[in-house]
Chains A and B, each alone.
Chain A
Amino acid sequence: MQSVLPSLFFYALATMILVSAVVTITRRNAVHSVIWLISTLLGIAGLFLHQHAEFLAAVQVIVYIGGITVLFLFVIMLVNLDEAAKKKQFAGQWKIVVICAGALLAELGFFIFKGAEGFYFAEPAGGSLQPNTQLIALALYRDYLLPFELASLLLLVAMIGAVVLAKKDLK
């Protein structure tokens, strides 16, 4: 029993993630897509929780669901969906897509094949109530401070850029 339950969780969450992801890209209605995307993200948060990475799980939910998808919805709601649904849904780049997807598939297959023995299903990490919040903080703010700050600078630049672009449009 002790060994079945975790993998059961894993499979349930994995199914949820995969199914939601497929449904996300096949919905014609953008809002429905976002809802399925939320379901995918919730599944990923569940996987984090499954790995006893509670902090990551909570942050996943706050940032991705509470922040990013909410902004997605914000934008989508302003767009006239009836008109958008009539537009062509696919960009018509079939050949490039097939080549890229094939390459990716081959790559993944190769590595899975090569590393088959090192591959195992995710087991929960050691005991709960580990202070992984502190561990993450130490990693981010002490061990990898410079890359972390660089990344935040990059995001800041992107943010300012977005604001400038949006402002220009208004005038």
Chain B
Amino acid sequence: MATTPPVIPPLAPNATFLDTNELIINMGPQHPSTHGVLRVILKLDGERILGTECVIGYLHRGVEKIAENRTYTQFAPYVDRMDYVAAVSNGLGYCETIEKLLNVEAPPRARFVRTILTELNRISSHLLWLGTHAIDLGAITPLFYCFREREEILKIFENYCGARLTTHAFRIGGLQYETYDGFDQQVRAFCNQFMEKIAEYETLLTGNRIWLERTKGVGILTAAEAIDFSVTGPLLRASGVKFDLRKAQPYAAYSEVDFDIPVGENGDTFDRYVVRMEEMRQSIRIARQCLDKLPEGPVMAKVPKIMKPPVGEVYHAIEAPKGELGYHVVSDGSTQPYRIRVRPPSLINLQALDRMVRGLLVADVVAVIGTIDIVLGEVDR
């Protein structure tokens, strides 16, 4: 009866038999704080993160493929469904890209209205981020305050185009609708009250010891790393890189308004929080200036009913709330795009997650996912 001795796997040099096993935890796709259906596989030693792996694709709808079977106009509503909390920005990027391809330019009034709505949309996107980020860190109340103000923005969208979330506010070549009566007053009223409300959020969070301890020094991304990971948007600026497409390659009416680019120093979660809060203030500033300078005139340029852009390709990027949102459109001269490739900021920012959370605790993963501000609709497309 020859029995082979059981094979004992060799222990790591400094491990003892009392060493506990590494714990593999599946965070998501059904998890309260992965902001949708992100799945993160965590390798833990106790609660310390040894490594992470993101599994994406649970919300993949093949948006880019759909584009190949739609005309340029038909595809416009689809882009709203990518980053659904910043649908207006998505629409702006798409419309401007196709305008570039068609070689038309939206009239000045349309560009200013676009800028106002996009900046309001940036605020609403940041508000959603702030609320959920605070909830991730255990502060339940700010979410409701944020939603209260976001509601005002959504009301403006609703008054303007009838939709609140996936607005499809813009058309290729300008705007379909002229602004409604009272648009100016409503936006100004919102701008005035919102500055007070930001102060309210800040009293709840900015000076709070717990908030500081939870965010300062957590998920640090240095400037060099941020550039290596090609993260964009508030993440990049919080790491100290002063780069904003609104200044670097002005589009819409950004070249005609005056605003600052907030930058952080340490690239930690707190800096990203501060940068986004300041961005909201700057958005108000931009919206006010646009209202002051809002020119009269048509809102729609002359574009052919059936769009057949010349053969060629174009890449155009805008500064969406989450970072650089780029559209690469290839035209073969037909009514339908040959290929559309979207550069979603969420997906590319998400790649830095592993670098940011290694060595931290489980609770910090939640904080970092929150601070990256992902929208799974955009990550998976």
Residue pair B16, A79 in contact (C-beta under 8 Å): no
**Does B4 interact with chain A (Cβ within 8 Å)?**
no
Closest A residue to B21 using CB positions = A80
Determine whether A169 belongs to the interface, using a CB cutoff of 8 Å to chain B.
yes
Judged by a CB distance under 8 angstroms, whether B20 is at the interface is yes
State the interface size on chain A (CB cutoff 8 A). 4
**Contact (Cβ within 8 A) A169 B21:** no
**Chain B interface bracket (under 10, 10 to 19, 20 to 34, 35 or more):** under 10
- Which of B14, B16, B20 sits near A78, CB closer than 8 Å? B20
Nearest opposing residue in chain A for B14, CB measure: A169
A79 to chain B, nearest CB (A): 7
Distance in Å: Cβ of A54 to nearest Cβ of chain B: 39
Residues of B within 8 A of A169 (CB): 14, 16
Residues in chain A near residue B18, CB distance under 8 A: 79
Q: Which residue of B lies closest to A87 (CB)?
A: B17
Residue of A nearest to B23 (CB): A78
Which residues of A, 135-171, contact B by the 8 Å Cβ criterion? 169
**Looking across the interface, which residue of chain A has its beta carbon closest to that of B18?**
A79
In chain B, positions 8-60 with a C-beta closer than 8 Å to chain A are 14, 16, 18, 20-21
Min CB–CB distance B151 → chain A (angstroms): 46
A165 to chain B, nearest CB (A): 11
CB neighbours of A78 from chain B (8 A)? 20
List of B residues within 8 angstroms of A80 by Cβ: 21
Q: CA of A47 to CA of B42 in the docked complex: distance in angstroms?
A: 48
Which A residues are CB-close (under 8 A) to B21?
A: 80
Q: Which of A60-99 contact B (CB under 8 A)?
A: 78-80
Q: How many angstroms between the C-alpha atoms of A79 and B21 in the bound complex?
A: 7
| A80 CA / B16 CA spacing, docked (Å) | 14
List A residues 96-131 near B (Cβ within 8 Å): none
Chain A residues with CB under 8 Å of B16's CB are 169
Q: How far is the CB of A148 from chain B (nearest CB, A)?
A: 33
A85 to B20: give the CA distance in the assembly, Å: 15
Complex Cα gap A79–B16 (Å)? 13
A170 and chain B: residue at smallest CB distance: B14
User: CA–CA, A124 to B18, complex, Å?
Assistant: 45
Would you give the shortest CB distance from A67 to chain B, in whole angstroms?
21
Distance (whole angstroms) from the CB of A22 to the closest CB of chain B: 28
Interface string of B190-234 (1 = CB under 8 A from A): 000000000000000000000000000000000000000000000
Bound together, the chains give a CA A73 to CA B304 distance in angstroms of 74
- Complex CA distance for A22 and B20, rounded to whole angstroms: 29
Of chain B, the residue at the smallest CB distance from A171 is: B14
Q: How far is the CB of B167 from chain A (nearest CB, A)?
A: 51
Distance of B18 from chain A, by nearest CB (Å): 8
Chain A residues with CB below 8 A from B20, complex form: 78-79
Give Cα distance in the complex from A7 to B14, angstroms.
Answer: 56
**How far apart are the CA atoms of A78 and B16 in the complex, in Å?**
14
* A135-B21 Cα distance, complex, nearest whole Å: 48
List, sorted by A's number, 6 A–B pairs whose CB atoms are closer than 8 Å.
Answer: A78-B20, A79-B18, A79-B20, A80-B21, A169-B14, A169-B16
Q: Footprint of A on B, CB under 8 Å?
A: 14, 16, 18, 20-21
The 6 closest A-B pairs by CB, nearest first: A78-B20, A80-B21, A79-B20, A169-B16, A169-B14, A79-B18
